[in-house]
Amino acid sequence: MLRGIHLNPVKPARPVNPARLVNIGICGLGTVASGTINILNRNKSVIDARSGCNITIVQVGARRDNIKCDTSTLNVTRDIFDVINNPDVDIVVELIGGTTVAKELVLKAIANGKHIVTANKALIAHHGDEIFAAAKAKGVTVAFEAAVAGGIPIIKSIREGLAANNIEWLAGIINGTTNFILTEMRDKGRAFDDVLKEAQALGYAEADPTFDVEGIDASHKLVILASLAFGIPLDVKKVFTEGITKISTEDVNYAEELGYRIKHLGIARRSANGIELRVHPTLIPEKRLIANVDGVMNAVLVKGDAVGATLYYGAGAGGEPTGSSVVGDIIDVARTLLAAPEQRVPYLGFQTEFVTEQKHLPMEEIETANYLRMSAADKPGVLSKIATILSDSGISIEAMIQKEAKEGDAIVPLILLTNCVQEKKLMAALSKIETLDSISGSVQRIRVESLK
């Protein structure tokens, strides 16, 4: 010991109070459930220390076993409703997916006084308001961090970390399948259909990939983020949704040539005219950090009036990344079990009704810049006619790529970037352009966002 210095021995961590036993019942035993169980078992000591509770899985409800996790010591039932009727269960973890049985399960669990943790974005997007109302009336908590962007704690960040801010807008790559497809198309010059088959083989896309490639999955996640950001009701019908099935390798390459990358984004923006909710392919300047989020990774960019732009990046899916968010919610719920309901963090971040009704801006009124690709006849005067139509609609050309015709070709690709223009004005102009004899087929259009 150094002379004159007295070192106090480090006190051991206070043991978990046995009276604070928190029992978990898990419904479902798929990828996320197996990841959740593995995390709870592997990290039990740190989870208990952080929650101040003894968190224990007392029952699992699943139709079949999963070799990715060990349930040999657990009470497994083939009837998931046994879990919500088990009087020993404090927190029900719903991981079965879907919106029919899952809704019935969750509402009955709430009626039984159980707290809920779920990773089910479709359930929250379609029935969240009803579920939250039932939970509030019963005095229980509903936690759903894992419903958006897998392992990224984006819900907690908006609801708590950015609580001091008026959120101006957010934009996210919130579907890993579409991001993987667009990344492969850009990096390897592959066609959409070819990459989709690989995504299915790798397990990134389902046998029926509609929810992913048509933007439905992203729209569910966006409506949850928008409700957290702006205090508006959950309403998927308000989201304009467009997928990536019409994106070609040519579009990806031309975007690169213009200094942009194509990403499938969910965008929510609040303006003086109303709230925009839209999911669609978007050209983003290649220097933006979010433009460099590749593969199956997710990222959400949030702009607050005080903090400015903040970016949240990480794994958007997978058993343990998503299970990390599920367990994080379990810990949060366990910490507050003894707190009065009004002292807990509210489901969507607002203790009182902040914005119950606010105009949603119809898509035709939204303004964006645009990428246009058309097949034009290789003859004088064609560009002049197109420019005149655009000019008459108040649309200016910001950049252009005009390729020389190959020998024997009478049609050449013409690529334009426009200024920011109202959707209905652009669509009217495109209708006129498509009637020109010098234009072959329809005009490919992709919206452009600067995200700054």
pLDDT of res. 355? 57
Q: Which domains does the chain show, CATH number per domain? A: 18-151+321-343 (3.40.50.720), 157-315 (3.30.360.10), 366-448 (3.30.70.260)
The mean-pLDDT minimum among 13-17, 278-282, 372-376 falls in: 13-17
Closest CA to 268 of 307, 218, 212: 218
The mean-pLDDT minimum among 102-106, 378-382, 387-391 falls in: 378-382
Please give the structure tokens belonging to residue 447.
Answer: 């919206």
Element (H, E) at 334: helix 319-335
pLDDT of res. 354? 58
- pLDDT category of residue 17 using cuts at 50, 70 and 90: very low
pLDDT of res. 372? 98
Query: Exposed, middle or buried by CB within 10 Å (0-12, 13-18, 19+), for 198?
Result: middle
pLDDT of res. 356? 53
Average pLDDT, the chain: 92
Which residues are annotated as catalytic? 221
Does residue 13 have a pLDDT over 50? Answer: no
Closest CA to 231 of 108, 121, 146, 357: 357
Distance CA 144, CA 129 (A): 13
Give per-residue pLDDT as tens, 201-211: 998 998 999 99
Distance CA 376, CA 125 (A): 43
- pLDDT category of residue 357 using cuts at 50, 70 and 90: low
Distance CA 31, CA 230 (A): 32
What's the gap between Cα 314 and its chain centre? 12
3-state secondary structure of 402: strand
Global pTM value:
0.92
- pLDDT category of residue 8 using cuts at 50, 70 and 90: very low
What's the rounded mean pLDDT across residues 184-202?
96
Distance CA 172, CA 321 (A): 18
Distance CA 35, CA 316 (A): 14
Does residue 381 have a pLDDT over 80? Answer: yes
